[in-house]
Structure 1
C-alpha cells in the first residue's frame, strides 16, 4: 500500500460501543476492497488522532479484529490486513449478543 493514507469511514451507531463501530468500519473497508490483504493500517496513535478518539479505542478494535482473523500484528512492523481473510460469504462481523456479554456471576 505504500505511504498512501488510509481512510476509514467510521460507522456511527450510538447503541454500540465505539470500538465495535470502528471494528465494523474496518471490516466494511476490507469488504469494499479499499483495504486489501497485506495493507498496513495506521498506528493506534495516528488513527486515534485522525478520528478524534482515545488510543485505547483503536487498540480494542484492532485486538478484536486480530482475534477474528481480519488483521495480523507483526512486532516492530505494525498491524496489517490479514492475507488469509475470514470467508466473506459466510462470516461477516457482528457484535456479540447481549446474552454473550453479560457479566459472570458467582
Structure 2
C-alpha cells in the first residue's frame, strides 16, 4: 500500500485522549501537497491562547516501513489561518513540541486536500 495519510478528530474523555480516524488518503498527488504545505509552514513560539482540542489530526504513514513521517494537530483560527502542532515527547531528553503557522491561503489548500 505504501503511503497513507490518515485524518482524524482528536478527543478527550474519561478513558484518556485519542484520535478517531475517519478518512484515509492514498493519492500520491494529495500526499505530495500535504508534504509541501507542512514543509512551508513557518515555525512560531507557542501561542498564548490555543483551545484544548485541535480541530483535526493528520498522520502521514509509510505502511511498509511501519513509520509515521508527519504527525500534526491542526487548530483552525478565526482569521482563516491555522496553527500546526508537532507534539513532542516530554522529558529532559525528549523532543519539545513545535508550533507552526499557515496563512489563510495555505490553510485553504490544506482543507481542500483533507476534504
Same fold? TM cut 0.5: no
Task: Say which structure is richer in helix.
Answer: 1
Task: Say which structure is richer in strand.
Answer: 2
